[in-house]
């Protein structure tokens, strides 16, 4: 028989059991709204729990994320790491970076999160140089910055991602429109939409990765780097 879309009540049932929205995340969301950050851009608790399960599954100790915003994803990653684990989070907006540092300190994970200010693409050479100098590669890379640069960041990721590590990317099935255009609109000329299409196609065909898109929130790409 045909498989029907999952009803909203069952999704809510699953989230309430496995990924409850705890007080720290709620306070972070409230403070972000008061600060004036865009509403709804942060990852949801169920996506955060997915990331935690994946981090534990690959024994992650070093995580790199692009796009800190208020710090929701950085907090979820930090919670999944051992005491000597480290999250490096790149945020373009210095005000958001400062806000995230404050929130992560209140959550008690600031010793595991290094929030850096910088443009995602401009940060790549620095991160590559650091990895080459120390020999320390990342166990998990999470893309959640400018969607127009996802394809370039996919190609770059293999420089600093260890074999057996994970590449994650948010918004790869975004249902809403960008500039009145949607992901599946064949006439779309929005660079973000074109880039996400290219990223998805390249990731699916790349023999170095074993990949899937999880249809949670706005779509999360999960790719195991096999080298």
The alpha carbon of residue 165 and the mean position of all alpha carbons in its chain are separated, in whole angstroms, by 14
pLDDT for position 15: 86
Residues 223, 226: Cα–Cα separation, whole Å: 9
pLDDT at 186: 83
Element of type H or E holding 165: strand 161-170
**CB-based burial of residue 84 (10 Å sphere; 0-12 exposed, 13-18 middle, 19+ buried)?**
exposed
Return the minimum-mean-pLDDT range out of 4-13, 38-47, 49-58, 146-155.
4-13
Top-confidence residue, 134 or 180: 134
Whether the per-residue pLDDT at 2 is higher than 60: the answer is no
Q: Which residues contact 162 (CB under 8 A, 6 or more apart)?
A: 137, 138, 139, 225
The answer to whether the CB of 218 falls within 8 A of the CB of 170 is: yes
Q: How many CB atoms neighbour CB 44 within 10 A? A: 17
DSSP letters of 68-116?
-TTSHHHHHHHHHS-TT-EEEEEES-HHHHHHHHHHHHHTT-GGGEEEE
Compute the average pLDDT of residues 172-194: 82
Domains and their CATH numbers in the chain: 8-225 (3.40.50.150)
pLDDT band at 16 (very low <50, low <70, confident <90, very high): confident
Q: Quick one: CA dihedral 41, 45, 50, 51, positive or negative?
A: positive
| 3 — pLDDT class (breaks 50, 70, 90) | low
pLDDT digits (tens, 9 = 90+) for 30-62: 999 999 998 888 889 999 999 999 999 999 999
In this prediction the pTM is: 0.94
């Amino acid at each position: 028989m045909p498989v029907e879309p999952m009803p909203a009540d069952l999704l809510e049932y699953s989230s309430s059991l496995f990924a409850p929205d705890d007080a720290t995340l709620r306070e972070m969301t409230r403070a972000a709204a008061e600060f004036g950050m865009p509403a709804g851009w942060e990852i949801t608790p169920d996506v955060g729990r997915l990331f935690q399960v994946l981090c534990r599954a690959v024994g992650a100790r070093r995580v790199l994320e692009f796009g800190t915003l208020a710090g929701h994803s950085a907090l979820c990653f930090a919670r999944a790491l051992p005491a000597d684990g480290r999250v490096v989070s790149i945020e373009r907006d210095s005000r958001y970076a400062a806000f995230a540092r404050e929130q992560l300190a209140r959550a008690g994970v600031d010793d595991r999160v290094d929030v850096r200010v910088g443009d995602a693409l401009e940060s790549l050479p620095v991160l590559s140089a650091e990895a080459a100098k120390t020999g320390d590669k990342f166990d998990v890379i999470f893309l959640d910055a400018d969607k127009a640069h996802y394809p370039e960041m996919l190609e770059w990721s293999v420089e600093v991602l260890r074999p057996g590590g994970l590449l994650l990317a948010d918004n790869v099935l975004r249902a809403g429109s960008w500039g009145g255009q949607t992901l599946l609109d064949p006439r779309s000329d929005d660079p973000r939409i074109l880039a996400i299409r290219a990223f998805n196609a390249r990731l699916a065909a790349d023999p170095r990765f074993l990949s899937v898109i999880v249809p949670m929130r706005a779509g999360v790409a999960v790719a195991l780097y096999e080298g």
